A and B are shown apart, each in its own frame.
Chain A
Amino acid sequence: LAKTTQPISMDSYEGQEVNITCSHNNIATNDYITWYQQFPSQGPRFIIQGYKTKVTNEVASLFIPADRKSSTLSLPRVSLSDTAVYYCLVGGSGYSTLTFGKGTMLLVSP
Chain B
Amino acid sequence: DTGVSQDPRHKITKRGQNVTFRCDPISEHNRLYWYRQTLGQGPEFLTYFQNEAQLEKSRLLSDRFSAERPKGSFSTLEIQRTEQGDSAMYLCASSLGGTSGPSTDTQYFGPGTRLTVL
Contacts and interface: CB of A to CB of B under 8 A. Distances in A.
B111 A103 contact: no
Nearest to A105: B40
A102 B41 contact: yes
Interface in B20-64: 33, 35, 40-45, 48, 50, 55-56, 58
A61 B52 CA distance: 35
Contact of A41 (B42, B56, B102, B111): B111
A97 B48 CA distance: 9
B42 A34 contact: no
B42 A103 contact: yes
A102 B103 CA distance: 18
Interface centre among B42, B93, B102, B112 (most CB of A within 10 A): B42
Interface of B: 4, 33, 35, 40-45, 48, 50, 55-56, 58, 91, 93, 100-104, 106-112
What 4 A-B pairs come out closest when comparing CB atoms? Answer: A91-B103, A43-B109, A100-B42, A93-B101
Contacts of B102: 91, 95, 98
A96 B40 contact: no
A93 B107 contact: no
16 contacts: A31-B103, A32-B103, A34-B106, A36-B107, A42-B111, A43-B91, A43-B109, A44-B91, A45-B109, A89-B103, A90-B103, A93-B101, A95-B101, A96-B56, A97-B56, A102-B42
Nearest to A43: B109
A44 B102 CA distance: 16
B103 A96 contact: yes
Interface in A63-110: 87, 89-103
A50 to B, nearest CB: 10
Nearest to B106: A46
Contacts of A95: 48, 50, 55-56, 101-102
Given A31-B103, A103-B42, 7 more contacts: A46-B106, A46-B108, A95-B55, A95-B101, A97-B45, A98-B45, A100-B44
Contacts of B33: 98
A30 B93 CA distance: 22
